[in-house]
Amino acid sequence: MTEFLLAAEEIGRRDNLKQNEKEEIWLFRDLSFSIGMGERHGIKGATGSGKTLLMRSLALLDPVDSGQILWNEAELSPEQVPAFRGRVSYLHQRPSFFCEFVHEELKLPFSFKTFSVRNFPEEKLEEYLSILGRDSGFLSKSVVGLSGGEQQLVSLLRSLLLDPDILLLDEPTAALDPDTTGDVEGLVSYWFAMNDSKKSYLWISHDPAQLKRVADRVHVLAGGVLTEEARS
């Protein structure tokens, strides 16, 4: 039996841009979904279908309007949220940075209370950089001077170095060139494989071909309903 790490139980999100006095408008409602250990999920759907809102709800970045989010088959208490955020990492399509140089940005999360007991994984960083075809000079680059693709690589490195159980990827390659897209896909695949089926991820993409490469199970969010595609 699959152990479910993260699950949505009959959750709903209202469309606050289309509310009126006569009726409530929902992007989705009574939606259930789960991510088990060692699973690779993908989600696609039209613009405005609620994909990002679903992922943000799973990451506890936005509250749900109905239903609940479960972690290890139990509802999360407020006291458990910091630990949850240490195990579930959300990768934004447009990442934010807070430091001047790449190496400072990668080390910053380890100064936070949730991660302060961990040592910065220097050897793992070298390994990841090698997979990306970058050398140590990449770490001394100014964050401000990075291209969009390089920023996405830094964001991905920052997340993976924290060793999450689940990675939530919100269209991480939507604006990237094919080479950088391949770098992102390759590093995520390596991270997944090296952890012996103990890690999982959910990948939102508008590209069906990409989802075939990166996901074993592909879901479609349309009309407020999430359905799983049959494998071809």
Please compute, for residue 209, the number of CA atoms within 13 A of its CA located in the half-sphere on the CB side.
5
Check: CB of residue 206 under 8 Å from CB of residue 213: no
Residue 139 per-residue DSSP state: G
Beta-sheet strand order (sheet of 166-170): 88-91, 166-170, 200-204, 40-44, 217-222, 225-228
Contacting residues for 34 by C-beta, under 8 A, at least 6 apart: 4, 6, 7, 8
Contacting residues for 8 by C-beta, under 8 A, at least 6 apart: 31, 32, 33, 34, 54, 57, 58, 64, 67, 68, 69, 70
Average pLDDT taken over every residue of the chain: 90
pLDDT tens digit string along 82-132?
A: 889 889 999 988 888 999 999 999 999 998 887 877 889 999 999 999 999
Give the predicted TM-score (pTM) of the model: 0.91
Structure tokens at 159: 């997340």
Structure tokens at 138: 């990449």
More confident residue, 41 or 115: 41
Domains in the chain, ordered, with CATH?
Answer: 4-96+164-228 (3.40.50.300)
